[in-house]
Amino acid sequence: MNPTIDANLGNAAAKIRAQLKWPPAVGLVLGSGLGALVERLKPNVSIDYRDIEGMPLPRVPGHSGCLHIANVCDRSVVCLQGRVHLYEGHAPERVVFGVRLLALLGCSAVILTNAAGATSSRLAPGSLMLIADHLNLTGTNPLINSKGSAEFVDMTNAYDNDLRGQARIAASELDIAVAEGVYAGLLGPSYETPAEVRFLSSVGAQAVGMSTVLETIALRALRVRVGALACITNAAAGVEGSILDHQHVQQVADRAKGDFQRLVLGWIERLVRGQPTP
């Protein structure tokens, strides 16, 4: 990894760690239009990305760019409200800076969330999908130029089976419908063509977006367990009812926030309660 980024990560983690009341239990990344969940977390510490050494700044609407620390069941939850993307011109190692920071802070599990398009009409806008696996079609990897054997990461269980099981239990207890499927991560920023969507569907992808996959790879390289939830905000190109517009994506994410927020909070509480008291 770039020595400057290594140093920035270490310095940023040290400063944030000093503000943690309890050891972190879970990390959380909130994607496009999903940042309102922070209000329900009721953080006691909020840090603008501009005040975090080396932290890249998002410039896409729906990504506020703030790190929050909240207390859940006497454990700290560290939340990234917004992320950066490859299509904004960032190198892969910059795209994963935030999740590597969560790992350095001590998060042993991270929940990633995103807004995604459905590759078929079986997933309606507003529905929720647990990510069981992914297709990295971005054309790059955050582990390029890694030192030693760090680049050879087993991705068989990229999205942790136990974490998904806890999410399913939380969904059942809350009476929230949740699907499960494969997420295709593409470079963007243009939306996919109908031909590309047909291809993605044919190779097993139920949802498509422009984030998440690089973060998952980086976290697994650090042996952090990953869970991920996609909020389906639109039908992809060529699927009946498709509307391809970022403002529309944010609007649908806002309409779906009730079930999304309840599920993520229930999921976090189950994970926190399952960890030993510090």
Q: What is the DSSP string of 149-164?
A: GGG----TTSS-HHHH
- What tokens were used for 118? 């459905």
Neighbours of 45 (CB within 10 A): 15
Residue matched to tokens 């499927």 = 181
Q: What is the largest CA-CA distance in the chain?
A: 52
Residue matched to tokens 């990633």 = 112
Domains of the chain: 3-273 (3.40.50.1580)
Q: 36 to each of 12, 15, 66, 140, how far by Cα in Å?
A: 25, 26, 12, 31
- Look at residues 256, 213, 259, 8 and name the one whose alpha carbon lies nearest to residue 125: 256
* Residue 68 and residue 16 in contact, taking contact as beta carbons nearer than 8 Å: no
**Non-local CB neighbours of 120 within 8 Å, separated by 6+ positions:** 201, 206, 239
- Position 214 scores a pLDDT of 98
Rounded to whole angstroms, how far apart are CA atoms 233 and 244? 10
Structure letter (DSSP) for residue 51: G
- CB half-sphere exposure, 228, CA atoms < 13 A: 33
Q: Determine whether 21 is exposed, middle or buried from the number of CB atoms within 10 Å of its CB (0-12, 13-18, 19+).
A: exposed
- Position 35 scores a pLDDT of 78
- Digit-by-digit pLDDT tens for the chain (278 residues) are 566 668 899 999 999 999 898 889 899 999 877 778 898 899 999 999 999 999 999 987 766 899 999 998 888 999 999 999 999 999 999 999 999 999 999 999 999 999 999 999 899 888 999 999 999 999 999 999 876 556 789 999 999 999 999 999 999 999 999 999 999 999 999 989 999 999 999 999 999 999 999 999 999 999 999 999 999 988 776 676 666 666 766 776 666 678 999 999 999 999 998 765 55
Q: 19 to each of 226, 264, 272, how far by Cα in Å?
A: 24, 24, 19
Rounded to whole angstroms, how far apart are CA atoms 170 and 154? 28
- Position 273 scores a pLDDT of 84
- What tokens were used for 39? 């209000």
- Position 60 scores a pLDDT of 79
Q: What is the pTM of this model?
A: 0.93
3-state secondary structure (DSSP) of residue 23: coil
Question: How much is the CA Rg of the chain, to the nearest whole Å?
Answer: 17
